[in-house]
Structure 1
Amino acid sequence: MSIQPYKLGRHDRVTIDGVHFRPEGRKGRVNLLRQVVNDAVLDTILKPLSDEEFTHLNASKLIRIEEGYYSLAYQLLRKRADGTDLSDLSDLTDEQLRTIAWKVEWCTRFRHAQKGLAGHEVRRNKTPDDLAAFIAAEREAMHQWFVDTFGKARPPGKNIPGLRRKPYDYPGSTTLRGWLALLDAGEDEPGVFRPNYDKSGNRNQLDPRVRGIVEKHVRGYATGARLKPADVYGRVEADLLILNRSLSPESQASVSEPAIRRRIKKLQPILVDMAHLGEKRTFLKYAPIGKGLDSLDGLTPLERMDRVEMDDWEMDLFVVLKNKKVREGLGRKAKDEARRLQKNRVTVRCTVTVAIDVVTKCIVGLHVTPFAPSAAGSRSALRSIVVDKNPLALLAGAKSDWPMTARPLEIATDGGPAFRGDFHTCLGKMRVEHRLPGGDPRSRGTIESFFRNLKTLCRMFTGQCFSNVVERGEYQSQELASLLAEDVHLRLVRYLVDIYHHTPHSGLGGMRPYEAWRRAKNELDPPPDYINRHLAFGLAVPNRTLAADGVTYLHTPYKHPDMGTLRALIGDRRIGIVTDPNDMGSILVRVPPDARSHFPGAGAYLVFKAPDLDGVPLAEYLRENRAMLRFAKQERLAGNAFRLTAIRDLMKEADDARRRAGVPSDIVSEDQLNRMLKFVERKGAQVTSTRPAPSGPAANGDDAPDRFGTSIATPPGGRRPTRLVIDVVPGAEDLMDPTDDDFGDLE
């Protein structure tokens, strides 16, 4: 722990373990304290407080320092200064502080008179006549203010021969104008009235030999090296040491560290931030912004679930991925890192997609995946907005509930690919407006500021990342990864439900997000029912036919009690279906408009069922299908991220609860699903179709000798051939190679 030198002010009150002290001065690296009992100083008790002791007590929160507690004038000046540093006044006596407060009050009242404020009907200028008139009218009230505030009168004025002595030291017009000019030049800092201020280093009173050295190194503070003020002072001292070698002992040059710090504070903040933070972050910090979105139409105030913002974020945490089925979908970088570590594990950084209600700051949607951001993952987060999330909260062990379920009025995202395609299509099916505010993150300030909360969660576990290698130091992030990827989602749910929703939020004026949700009075748009949710998030499969045994999907017939009627009405016409990769138990069959009158109350779709597959996800159904495995391999070689077999990638223990909650993980897109179905069904048809029986006359020996190939007979006493060579049809090698990966596990 670095030692923090701290110089106590003369009027500070220091409290250590309930005992009050008042500083008596400083000797070397030690502050001297005298105990105070009932505001009376005990001269017999002197307690030393070293810098080491102060650092330890301050870190343990065992010491409290109340600046200027024993000086009413100091407290008054600090209030008037409005946050300005008064450390350069902490060594003055109480009488000197009262004099400074007297001068500041005179200047403040004249400024009011200049603007016609505080009961001044006549506006005053800085002319000698106006200044004199103001002093004559105000001096008695000023003196009464001083007596009422400090309980004593001002001392009489100077005794000037030949002039009548003033009963108290009110200023003349020239003196008051000087005070005003001094305060204006010092940016309203009360320290300009410090005794002998013109001879101190608070202004440009440095030795000319020192000024150049100080200015050079102070400018160096605003560089990318990110120097500390103590570093700047150390560099100044080093140059002064060289300078003083050529000077006589009586003319040595020097400068104090407080003088260096004051000059550093005078640097323009934007220049310092440009050097320390970079151009982009500095622009975001200083660019003017409004108070935030409070209405969608400019008239109606924004209410709960009127606007939901979504974005994805790569967690600042490495986690261990043990599920081998997921590794095939990861990139080469993760696999190379596993080989480097020489351990049978892969470390990844999960992608978190979050949806937050702008008005209540509640998290209404969530999705976690070890893969890169995608439209399928964003669609999963969108699905979680409109389903009951309480089963998920119970599974995570949360003590509170998660009632934030409704259909939002609009969803605001950036224009990235993860929020295009299928995600945009789902919003259209749900009749939710999709707003693209642009690339400026400030236009989605609610979601951007929320991710700081997730960084707090990341710091709870080992394996956290850092913004750069300098900040990371010797910390081995990937080697120290301890949290399993399968557990990230549940830990995150528990954090959001029990901690984030019940923590006071500055954007709500200190109210908790959960409380803001409960207090909101507006009616929520109910979430879509099962049929509409299936239509919105299901994947459309075109060109199906209705046969006598129903609609066939992946060699499985789906049936409906009225399918005979529908078949009689549409015949062999091609129809479309909507399937859910997370539940093979049912599909939606689109009824042509001319046949819908025969199915009153059914709408545009009929629910066809396959009871044996109820609740079975598509990935589980196809896990051992060789044609699907071959398709996955082809997609992988083509560079397409096909992750259907990893649909249970993250929450394998929570899969059942997720399906009950209606928030399963979407992995594939509609286009990928249709290409995979076409491939799998074609291969399956080739395998299951019956071959035609041989027909025509039997072959005889008169046929051409090369019709069936050449027979290789075994010569008497000879060995049997070690290998049978067969001409293979081009393109069929993969089908016959027993070492092909498609015949084994995906590992």
Structure 2
Amino acid sequence: MAVERYALGLNDRVTIAGVRYRPAGREGKANLLRQVVDDAVVETALSPLTDEEYARLREAKRIRIEEGYFSHAYQLLRDRADGGDLSDLHDLTDAELRDIAWKVEWCVRFRHAWKGIAGRASRLNKTPKDISNFIAAEKHAMLQWYVDTFGTTRPPGRREAGGSRKTFDYPGATTLLGWLNMLDAGDDRPGVLRRQYHKCGNREQLDPRARGIVDKHVRAFASAARPKVTDIHLRIAADLKLLNDRLSPAERVSVSERTVRRRIAKLPPILVDLAHLGHKRALLKYAPVGNGLVSLDGLTKLERMDRVEMDDWEMDLFAVLQNKHVRATLGANAKAEERRLRKNRVAVRCTVTVAIDVVTKCVVGLQVTPFAPSAAGSKSALRSIVVDKGPLVALAGAKSDWPMTARPTEIATDGGPAFQGDFHSTLGRLDIEHRLPGPDPRQRGTIESFFRNIKRLCRLYTGQSFSNVVERGEYRSEELASLLAEDVYLHLVRFIVDDYHHTSHAGLNGKRPYQAWHQAENNLAPPPDHFKRMLSFGLAVPNRFLAADGVTYLNSQYVHPLMGKLRGLVGGKPLVIVTDPDDMGTILVRVPSEFREQFPGDGSYLPFECQDLHDLTLAEVLQENREARRFARQERLAGYPFKLNALHDLMKEAEAARRRAGVPSDVISEEQFNRLVKAVERRGLVAVSKQAAPSGPPAPAGYGPGNLGTSVAAPPGRLPPAAVTRVVPGAEELLRPSDMDDEDGL
């Protein structure tokens, strides 16, 4: 016996033995199902439900089908139909059902006005004038009904006679009259209003004798030679001439260029782009980004700040770098560019590191630097997520606010070096999960798509770099650079706060990111307090010792009321301290785990203070140190952008403004910093130590180089020792001759 065929609707909810599914179409003799939990799809795998299985489950009463459950539009249409036949709507998506509900609502409202019922004061006629007046009076109320009902807006309409485009697709008088007539002829079944594009046009206009010739040459349009439409038409005309030579004048065949253009337009765009652009560019064009995740665990819906995506991007804009301290760290290429321009300036492309919340599309972290991507720059962007950005907004002159401050649940990045090392360790200290989705940018679709917005900002200024040299042409990007690099950061802050956050976002169904942030109802994890931020973003310095006068650090003494107790417990054991480059007045000293119970209420760290260094930055402490300048020069020659002066890369040189704005200056790594600390303190120890008095009789006056005999330290013919030993009271160290020089470094 033949089994009854039953096609499930795309918006039905199917329950089998307590497990719920959503149909995903039909293939052969089976309906395809996806499992859902809390109405959210949790499985991408398709489970087939054959007609035989459906019949068996229905007979056993183990299957329940709720028609149109996942479509609010279907439920509205079912209520309008009042039990009528909706079988011709089962294969439509929710978007297509919303279109039909939109048309039905227009018809229902006009019928009320036509009959003078439902609160309508006067009756209308089915004339073009009355229908046009009705549409003009009702269109805004209809749009508000649609937004309130479905939570989204209508797409833009067609261009009107004056050339301007309709703000949304409200119908014209003729269109609305056509909908009314279709409902009248179809016994008010909503299905008569579904689109019938597949029936449009006469598809047999082309002469069958010419179809093979046309199809062959139209397919050749997808060629690496990139032929023009006129070339294809001429090739078709040449082959048709051979055909027409064998036919009588009355039977000859012709094909217009317009017909050729229409058929070329029907070629799959990916096929044409594969031939014209190549495999790599076609792949980037058709697989750029995805929509991001909707759940972290597959069960719980993603909420605000549950997932933040971070990435860096080199701006498509050259900016003028005038800060002499920063220019000195950019290396030989920048100096050569400066000489080429013959001006006291150099043009650079800044690196922007952005953090964006996946759910609300709000930018929650930002960092801009003229250097290449680095873990230090990523740490600064991470720090901006958890600090108050109000002072920075005021400094940038933005009119709106930037309240997006919280501790994310997880941060997703790529596997590049800028998001490893110090950055990864900092996430661990903040109790934030680090997610590495892989190299596929579609797995970080939110952040990848955001950089298109920054390109819009770049286009406002001269000096664009463009995406390639062909597009750039003869445009002299470096010489036309006009925006100061010191101002890029503030301009970008204002663009994000006043423009991007208040622009409708397609990923939010037309809502603004700022609006989505404030409408979210989930509770946010509070940002870390001052000491937690210091532990996370400060610089750890190992092998510090607690003496009777406190902890010595950069030749300064740090003290704490309980340091005597701590010294009595740890003795001469080395300790680890944490410093804050923005305020050198306080350091945190880690208490060994076995002694922490002796300091109840103080946690794992004790804050040691140095009153003389309060409110001083690392830059101000080190800027007069000759050894620090020497170290900076060595780092620069080694290719490391070690920014010892610690000014923010793209802020004006006013350090007070930087502090008021809360802009972080810790743009150095712990490894670089600890090497510097060793060099500075070693020099400081030598400088303050008492030198040993000379001993032995003085050398005769006639003695000089070459008269003191042969060294017994190295046999003749061997190189001299690479280092000499200097002994000072209380310290012994091995110094290379280069360290003994009196150069001023930078």
TM-score range, shorter chain: 0.5 to 0.7
Residue of structure 1 aligned with 2:163, choices 51, 60, 63: 63
CA contact (8 A) 2:289 2:444 kept: no
| Structure 2 length-normalised TM | 0.67
Q: Residue 610 of structure 1: CA displacement?
A: 1.8
Instruction: Classify the secondary structure of the residue corresponding to 2:584.
Output: strand
Q: Which has the larger radius of gyration?
A: 1
- Equivalences for residues 463-478 of structure 1 within 5 A: 463-478=463-478
Residue of structure 1 in register with 2:744 after alignment: 743
Q: Residue 217 of structure 1: CA displacement?
A: 5.3
Change (3 A) 1:225 1:618: farther
CA distance in 1, matches of 2:434, 2:722: 55
CA distance in 2, matches of 1:680, 1:548: 22
CA contact (8 A) 2:371 2:641 kept: no
CA distance in 2, matches of 1:669, 1:465: 30
Residue of structure 2 in register with 1:623 after alignment: 623
Q: Residue 521 of structure 1: CA displacement?
A: 1.5
Residue of structure 2 aligned with 1:191, choices 201, 220, 227: 201
CA distance in 1, matches of 2:653, 2:296: 41
Q: Residue 324 of structure 1: CA displacement?
A: 1.5
CA distance in 2, matches of 1:700, 1:378: 61
CA contact (8 A) 1:316 1:349 kept: yes
Residue of structure 2 in register with 1:271 after alignment: 271
CA contact (8 A) 1:655 1:664 kept: no
CA distance in 1, matches of 2:160, 2:459: 21
CA contact (8 A) 1:326 1:646 kept: no
CA distance in 2, matches of 1:342, 1:243: 64
Q: Residue 587 of structure 1: CA displacement?
A: 0.7
Give the AA of the match of 2:558: Y
CA contact (8 A) 2:354 2:381 kept: yes
Instruction: Classify the secondary structure of the residue corresponding to 1:687.
Output: helix
- Equivalences for residues 28-427 of structure 1 within 5 A: 63=163, 72=174, 188-192=198-202, 198=204, 200-201=205-206, 205=208, 207=210, 212=213, 218-224=218-224, 231-233=228-230, 236-237=233-234, 240=237, 255-280=255-280, 282-283=282-283, 292-427=292-427
CA distance in 2, matches of 1:694, 1:339: 52
CA contact (8 A) 1:316 1:466 kept: yes
Residue of structure 2 in register with 1:456 after alignment: 456
Q: Residue 624 of structure 1: CA displacement?
A: 2.8
Q: Residue 63 of structure 1: CA displacement?
A: 2.7
Instruction: Classify the secondary structure of the residue corresponding to 1:541.
Output: strand
Give the AA of the match of 2:677: L
CA contact (8 A) 1:305 1:407 kept: yes
Instruction: Classify the secondary structure of the residue corresponding to 1:693.
Output: coil
Residue of structure 2 in register with 1:87 after alignment: none
Residue of structure 2 in register with 1:565 after alignment: 565
CA distance in 1, matches of 2:565, 2:172: 95
CA contact (8 A) 1:585 1:616 kept: yes
Matched, 1:512 2:512: yes
Give the AA of the match of 1:63: G
Q: Residue 284 of structure 1: CA displacement?
A: 5.7
Residue of structure 2 in register with 1:689 after alignment: 689
User: What number of residue pairs does the alignment pair up?
Assistant: 564
Instruction: Classify the secondary structure of the residue corresponding to 1:350.
Output: strand
CA distance in 2, matches of 1:417, 1:509: 35
Instruction: Classify the secondary structure of the residue corresponding to 2:438.
Output: coil
CA contact (8 A) 1:388 1:661 kept: no
CA distance in 2, matches of 1:386, 1:119: 52
Instruction: Classify the secondary structure of the residue corresponding to 1:317.
Output: strand
Q: Residue 235 of structure 1: CA displacement?
A: 5.6
Instruction: Classify the secondary structure of the residue corresponding to 2:645.
Output: helix
Q: Residue 254 of structure 1: CA displacement?
A: 5.0
Change (3 A) 1:653 1:497: farther
CA contact (8 A) 2:331 2:636 kept: no
CA contact (8 A) 2:289 2:449 kept: no
Residue of structure 2 in register with 1:45 after alignment: none
Superposed CA deviations along residues 506-548 of structure 1, whole A, max 9, x for unmatched, are 1111111111111112111111111111111111111111122
CA distance in 2, matches of 1:238, 1:341: 52
CA contact (8 A) 2:291 2:446 kept: no
CA contact (8 A) 2:555 2:681 kept: yes
CA contact (8 A) 1:580 1:587 kept: yes
Give the AA of the match of 1:436: L
Instruction: Classify the secondary structure of the residue corresponding to 1:636.
Output: helix
CA distance in 2, matches of 1:71, 1:386: 55
Superposed CA deviations along residues 220-262 of structure 1, whole A, max 9, x for unmatched, are 53245656xxx31256348858997999997997532211112
Q: Residue 736 of structure 1: CA displacement?
A: 7.7
CA contact (8 A) 2:648 2:663 kept: no
Q: Residue 73 of structure 1: CA displacement?
A: 8.6
Instruction: Classify the secondary structure of the residue corresponding to 1:483.
Output: coil
Change (3 A) 1:71 1:590: closer
Change (3 A) 1:506 1:546: same
Q: Residue 286 of structure 1: CA displacement?
A: 5.4
Change (3 A) 1:681 1:290: closer
CA distance in 2, matches of 1:493, 1:219: 49
Give the AA of the match of 1:461: Y
Superposed CA deviations along residues 71-125 of structure 1, whole A, max 9, x for unmatched, are 959996xx99xxxxxxxxxxxxxxxxx9xx9xxx99xx9xxxxxxx9799xxxxx
Residue of structure 1 in register with 2:100 after alignment: none
Change (3 A) 1:225 1:392: farther
Give the AA of the match of 2:198: D
Q: Residue 708 of structure 1: CA displacement?
A: 8.0
- Equivalences for residues 490-505 of structure 1 within 5 A: 490-505=490-505
CA contact (8 A) 1:387 1:663 kept: no
Change (3 A) 1:255 1:64: farther
Give the AA of the match of 1:681: E
Matched, 1:428 2:428: yes
Residue of structure 1 in register with 2:659 after alignment: 659
CA distance in 2, matches of 1:289, 1:686: 58
CA distance in 2, matches of 1:326, 1:288: 35
Please list every run of 5 or more consecutive structure 1 residues that lacks an aligned counterpart in the other structure: 1-36, 40-57, 81-97, 110-116, 121-144, 150-183, 712-726
Change (3 A) 1:476 1:708: closer
Q: Residue 611 of structure 1: CA displacement?
A: 2.2
Give the AA of the match of 2:668: V
CA contact (8 A) 2:629 2:745 kept: no
Give the AA of the match of 1:191: G
Q: Residue 652 of structure 1: CA displacement?
A: 3.3
Q: Residue 367 of structure 1: CA displacement?
A: 0.5
CA contact (8 A) 1:583 1:614 kept: yes
CA contact (8 A) 2:646 2:665 kept: no
CA distance in 2, matches of 1:603, 1:313: 40
Instruction: Supply the RMSD in Å over aligned alpha carbons.
Output: 4.2
Residue of structure 1 in register with 2:542 after alignment: 542
Change (3 A) 1:635 1:405: same
Superposed CA deviations along residues 713-736 of structure 1, whole A, max 9, x for unmatched, are xxxxxxxxxxxxxx9988977568
Give the AA of the match of 2:613: L
Change (3 A) 1:465 1:61: farther
Change (3 A) 1:668 1:348: same
CA distance in 2, matches of 1:61, 1:469: 41
Instruction: Classify the secondary structure of the residue corresponding to 2:338.
Output: helix
Residue of structure 2 in register with 1:593 after alignment: 593
Change (3 A) 1:367 1:253: same
